[in-house]
Chain A
């Protein structure tokens, strides 16, 4: 089954404790991205990747890191989480960047930073 998976689905952590949220897709997509969803703000793009070893900042990259060492994986790293990063996070992939393709979303990761 074609899908985007994220782990963990739920995470409660404390300020300053490094964490990684994994994202994996099995569709051989080139383009992957991370979003955060906050009430009243919709989805905002954090980082995106056009292909292996190619990443770029979205609209809200502060406090986040990403890497793209393999085509299928695109982990999101919070080196020193803070309470303002409490949010619902989605990973998405699309075949390539033409701006015309459907994005396929993972099920989401709900992060709480205390």
Chain B
């Protein structure tokens, strides 16, 4: 089975400051990587995903993530956060080699401080 590690459970950051949310996954021959966002009292929605090709992936709301195969990482970044970015962020992985399942990390709670 795959495993996903989100090292930071809570990240406070001031408005308009940059932020990086970290995600590492267990090694596999090939993986597909996702970042989902969960706003308070809502379900999850996709921010971005990496399937293949360019290692820098751009998503919605100004977020981007970089796939680093050698470090088995897929960190999420935003150069300038807004109050509306306050939410829970989940990294997820799937792979054609480990069955028909998705694996999620434990989540990072991002709080943007005015």
Contact = CB atoms under 8 A, between A and B. Distances in A.
Given A40-B9, A42-B90, A43-B90, A103 B104 contact: no
Given A100-B32, A100-B51, A45 B101 contact: yes
B95 A99 contact: yes
Interface size class of B (residues with CB under 8 A): 20 to 34
Contacts of B45: 105
A58 B101 CA distance: 7
Contacts of A81: none
Contacts of A95: none
A1 to B, nearest CB: 14
A10 B112 CA distance: 29
Nearest to B106: A42
Contact of B102 (A45, A50, A107): A45
B94 interface: yes
